[in-house]
Amino acid sequence: MSPPSDDALRHTAHPGEIVGVSEDVWMEVIDKMDQVYSDLLQYEVALEQKNAKLEESQQFILSVLTSMSDIMLVCDRHGIIQDANRSLEAFCGRGVDALRGTSLFELFVDPLAAEEARRRLFGQGAKEVHDCELPLRARDGSAVPVSLNCTPRFNAVGKSLGMVMTGRPVGELRRAYQALHEAHEDLKRTQQQLLHAEKMASLGRLVAGVAHELNNPISFVLGNVHALQRYAGRLAGYLGTIHRGADAEEVEAARRSLRIDRILDDLPSLIEGTIEGAERTRAIVDGLKRFSAMDRDEVEDFDLVEVVERAVRWVCKTAREDFRVELALPPRIALRGSPGRIQQVVTNLIENARDAASAGEAPPTLRISASLDAGRVRMCFDDNGPGVPAEILGRIFDPFFTTKPVGKGTGLGLSISYGIVERHGGTLAAENRPEGGARLVLTLPEA
Ligand SMILES: Nc1ncnc2c1ncn2[C@@H]1O[C@H](COP(=O)(O)OP(=O)(O)OP(=O)(O)O)[C@@H](O)[C@H]1O
Ligand SMILES: [Mg+2]
């Protein structure tokens, strides 16, 4: 085909029109360009937003890494360091740029440690390693044992990329442990002191009770002995008259003036009273001896009823006059264990009931009852106090928990009792009775 002639061209081309392209086509091209341009603008805005987000999250990660006190590094599968945090820089005295691209094994103090690290950290494939203690070289060249943790890193399709290693100088852990240990020791010492204070306080209460109890027989023994002394003087005078060989009339006169017949009438009751007083004193001392056996954990067969009665006697000596204890117990409850320890438990339960019940208007009363069932004794201590407030019911067995004023209670009574009862194979629990007042329930295996 021949090319169009100049004439033909001139004929079809209007001004502003390229030959062979219509105006419509041009409009279409311009439209498309507009659209592309606006798409580009949109992409740019989205890109900028994404960039800002990326930067933000990078900042966040950086701030986390920087503020981490543990050392941390990221390495590839061959142990070549890809990144490290500020703590590692500070620890080894090299900047992160200097660290990047070097082998992580250079961080260890000597080739032996590096070899050990290679075996333990890389020896088992992509596995986590925890608390692996190895020496790293600190910035001053010294060897510092570090507890290392390694976690493998994977890409999106699960291919191993290397790992993340974190570590904490063991010295720091040891220091923290040491501080904890010291605090614990301090606490134990304080607890011992408080235990001692509790012992002294119960000793004080005991001594007060004993003093009160001894006072009575001793004072009447003393009174009797004074009377006997006076009588002895008069009898000596009378016998003197007889021995002098005085006549019957004189002797009779002396007998009347010295009131010898009255002395003879009085003597048996005086002597009896003195013996009784001395015996009561001995009984008290016996009781004391048994009480002092409390510190010994001797295992023996004993009667719980006897222990309860003894404890009631002791507590009542220091209680309000109107404190009443009702006992509803079988004649004998045979147990095996330490009677001294069980007495300590019962004494504290009675003391607690006395303290609680004394707070109310009504005369303080405690009822102790026991039932035997399937080889176990169940003993209830029911008082007419206000009961244990629900919010502290779960805490009264805690050591040092007390609602009593300073100097009145240590809060050790129930916690020590709980331990004693547990060692005897029993249980101790507290509840509130629907009719009011607290009930402490003690169960123990029968002998
Ligand atoms: N029968 C009871 N009624 C009401 N509250 C009680 C009763 N028994 C114990 N509690 C509460 O339990 C707390 C702890 O008793 P616990 O015997 O352990 O210590 P404490 O009696 O306060 O002191 P301590 O026994 O050393 O003299 C008491 O302070 C009291 O608040
Ligand atoms: Mg108590």
**CATH number of the domain that 318 lies in?**
3.30.565.10
- What is the helix (H) or strand (E) element at residue 135, kind and residue range? strand 129-137
Average pLDDT, the chain: 87
Residue 378, strand partner residues: 371, 443
431 domain residue, yes or no: yes
Residue indicated by tokens 């290392």: 148
Judge whether 162 lies within some domain.
no
Q: 414 lies in a domain?
A: yes
Cα torsion 138, 139, 141, 142: sign: negative
Q: What is the CA radius of gyration of the chain?
A: 49
240 in a domain, yes or no? no
pLDDT at 19: 62
Q: How far apart are CA 148 and CA 129, in angstroms?
A: 8
Measured by CA distance, the residue closest to atom 9 of ligand 1 is 352
> Would 246 be classed as within a structural domain?
no
The number of the ligand nearest the C-alpha atom of 441 reads: 1
Across 113-132, average pLDDT: 83
Atom of ligand 1 nearest to the CA of 437: 3
For 337, the enclosing helix (H) or strand (E) is strand 334-337
Query: For residues 7 and 11, what is the distance between their CA atoms, to the nearest angstrom?
Result: 6
**Number of domains the chain contains:** 1
Of the listed ligands, the closest to the CA of 356 is: 1
Number of H helices, E strands in the chain: 11, 12
Q: Strand, helix or coil at 278?
A: helix
CB of 438 shorter than 6 A to ligand 1: yes
User: Ligand nearest 385 Cα, by number?
Assistant: 1
- Ligand 1 pocket test target in 318, 347, 352 with most atoms within 8 Å of CB: 352
Most confident of 120-134, 205-219, 317-331, 429-443: 429-443
Tell me the residue range of the domain where 350 lies: 296-445
User: Cα separation of 162 and 246, whole Å?
Assistant: 129
| pLDDT at 190 (0 to 100) | 87
Contact predicate 104/125, CB 8 Å: no
Does the beta carbon of 338 sit less than 6 angstroms from any atom of ligand 1?
Answer: no
Query: How do residues 52-74 score in pLDDT, each as one tens digit?
Result: 999 999 899 888 888 888 999 99
Domain assignment present for 308: yes
pLDDT band at 192 (very low <50, low <70, confident <90, very high): confident
Centre of ligand 2 from the C-alpha of residue 409, in Å: 6
**Contact 412 CB / ligand 1 (< 6 Å):** yes
Tell me whether residue 269 is in a domain: no
Could you tell me the CA-to-CA distances from 441 to 258, 302, 381, 410 in Å, in that order?
A: 65, 20, 6, 21
416 lines ligand 1 (CB under 6 A): no
364 Cα–ligand 2 center, Å: 16
**321 is a domain residue:** yes
For 138-259, list the strands marked E by DSSP.
143-154, 160-169
Give residue-wise pLDDT tens across range 263-272: 999 999 999 9
- 392: which DSSP letter? G
Q: Is 383 in the pocket of ligand 1 (CB under 6 A)?
A: yes
Report whether residue 428 contacts ligand 1, using a CB cutoff of 6 Å.
no
